[in-house]
Amino acid sequence: MSNTDGPIGIFDSGFGGLTVARSVVDQMPNEDIVYLGDTARAPYGTKSLPEVREYALECLDRLVDRGVKALVIACNSASSAVLRDARERYSVPVVDVILPAARRAVRVTNNGRIGVICTTATAYSRSYDDALAAVPDVELYTTPCPLFVDFVEAGVTGGPDLEGIAHDYLEPLVMAKIDTLILGCTHYPLLTGVINYVLGDSVTLVSSADECAKSTWATLNELGLLNHSPREATREFLTTGNPENFQGIGGRLMGGFVRDVGAIW
């Protein structure tokens, strides 16, 4: 077995991490992926950090058992709870979604006023505060947006109800005059339309999903784990919940990207 063999394991509490998976496939078309969504216990954003840690490590263990060559924690809540443990626990590289997005936001902001929208668990963990603590002349404004996840997981990405909630959530960030917003939950890139509509074109959106995929490419490249030659790559999707439900919602959100979903237990 060569050092480029094995899929990239991508883990999320549910469907949001599919945005990371698609970005990984777009940026690394020669790589096999196996995606695991813990939909039976989602959402993570309203759970305690110890609960999230327990569930996330259980799922990551399952991916490691399948011979992955790298782990991508495609969930901000899980990254907040388990990243340090995961890097000590596993022999494969582990990539998170928080630090890459924070670094990107620092690069693109002009006025140093950066917003982050996220789940309650991510906000409580202060992971983005920690990621930006050493950066001078940056003010971080954090707004939990828990209901956004409910809309995405129901396959709803527009409409007056969502728009009204978006106005309520995002108004404090408008008042704070942010010029950059981190989408600090991998569900949120699926709501880019309504978020951009409410905030206006003057605010740059930073997708934690896209930045995570870029970081994955860089990590695998540095370690010599990338498949550079064209090959027929595979995509496997697993869920702890109902495979038919996962495929139905995943299909509505991501089109034909999600198919042949299996159950992990």
Name every residue whose Cβ is closer than 8 Å to that of residue 23 and which is 6 or more positions away in sequence. 207, 209, 210, 212, 213
Nearest to 96 by CA among 213, 14, 221: 213
Q: Tell me, yes or no, if the two domains 8-96+210-263 and 98-209 fold the same way.
A: yes
Query: What are the pLDDT tens digits along the chain (265 aa)?
Result: 457 899 999 999 999 999 999 999 999 999 999 999 999 999 998 899 999 999 999 999 999 999 999 999 999 999 999 999 999 999 999 999 999 999 999 999 999 999 999 999 999 999 999 999 999 999 999 999 999 999 998 889 999 999 999 999 999 999 999 999 999 999 999 999 999 999 999 999 999 999 999 999 999 999 999 999 999 999 999 999 999 999 999 998 998 999 999 999 8
Cβ(107)–Cβ(86) under 8 Å?
no
Q: How far apart are CA 234 and CA 236, in angstroms?
A: 7
Residue pair 35/60 in contact (Cβ under 8 Å)? The answer is: no
| Domain 8-96+210-263: CATH class, spelled out | alpha beta
First to last CA, the chain: 27
pTM of the model: 0.93
Check 59, 145, 185, 212 and give the catalytic one: 185
Q: What is the pLDDT of residue 265?
A: 80
- The total number of residues written for the chain in this structure: 265
> Rounded distance, CA 159 to CA 178, Å?
25
> Is the separation of the CB atoms in 146 and 46 below 8 Å?
yes
Q: Confirm whether 59 is a catalytic residue.
A: no
Reduced 3-state DSSP string for 135-162: CCCCEEEEEECHHHHHHHHCCCCCCHHH
Would you kindly state where each structural domain of the chain is located, as residue ranges? 8-96+210-263, 98-209
User: 75, 118, 145, 212: which one is catalytic?
Assistant: 75
Neighbouring-strand partners of residue 141: 115
* Residues forming beta bridges with residue 94, ordered by sequence position: 71
Whole-number pLDDT of residue 1: 42
Catalytic residue status for 118: no
* Residue reference for tokens 């949120």: 188
- Long-range pairs of 250-253 with CB within 8 A, sequence gap ≥ 24: 250/15, 250/18, 252/155, 253/15, 253/18, 253/152, 253/155, 253/157, 253/190
- The CATH number corresponding to 98-209 among 3.60.20.10, 3.40.50.1860, 3.40.50.720, 3.30.70.380 equals 3.40.50.1860
Q: What is the model's pLDDT at position 2?
A: 53
